[in-house]
Amino acid sequence: TATVDTAALTAWVREFGRLIAAGRDLLTELDSAIGDADHGVNMDRGMTAVLAALAADPPTTPADVLKRTGMTLVSKVGGASGPLYGTAFLRMAAAAGAADALDAPGYAKVLRAGLDGVVARGKPAAGDKTMYDALAPAVDALDEALAAGRPLGEALRAALRAAEQGRDATIPMVARKGRASYLGERSAGHQDPGATSVTMLVSAAATVLGG
Ligand code: ADP
Ligand code: MG
Ligand code: MG
Q: Each residue of 119-169: pLDDT tens digit?
A: 999 999 999 999 999 999 999 999 999 999 999 999 999 999 999 999 999
Q: Cβ(174)–Cβ(184) under 8 Å?
A: yes
> Considering only CA atoms, which residue is closest to atom 13 of ligand 1?
194
Q: Which atom of ligand 1 is nearest to the CA of 194?
A: 16
Q: Which ligand is nearest to the CA of 125?
A: 1
CATH of the domain at 179: 1.25.40.340
Q: Each residue of 168-205: pLDDT tens digit?
A: 999 999 999 999 999 999 999 999 999 999 999 999 99
Q: Which atom of ligand 1 is nearest to the CA of 179?
A: 2
Q: What is the DSSP string of 77-136?
A: --TTHHHHHHHHHHHHHHHHTT-SEE-HHHHHHHHHHHHHHHHHHH---TTSSSTHHHHH
Ligand 1 near 85 CB (within 6 A)? no
Say how many domains are in the chain.
1
CA of 149 to the centre of ligand 1 (A): 35
Complex ipTM: 0.99
> What protein residues have CB closer than 5 angstroms to ion ligand 3?
36, 38, 79
> Considering only CA atoms, which residue is closest to atom 22 of ligand 1?
122
- pTM recorded for the entire structure: 0.98
Ligand 1 near 193 CB (within 6 A)? yes
pLDDT band at 61 (very low <50, low <70, confident <90, very high): very high
CA distances from 51 to 2, 11, 59, 112, 178 (A): 25, 10, 11, 23, 27
Ligand 1 near 192 CB (within 6 A)? yes
pLDDT of residue 211: 76
- Which domain, by its residues, includes 53? 4-208
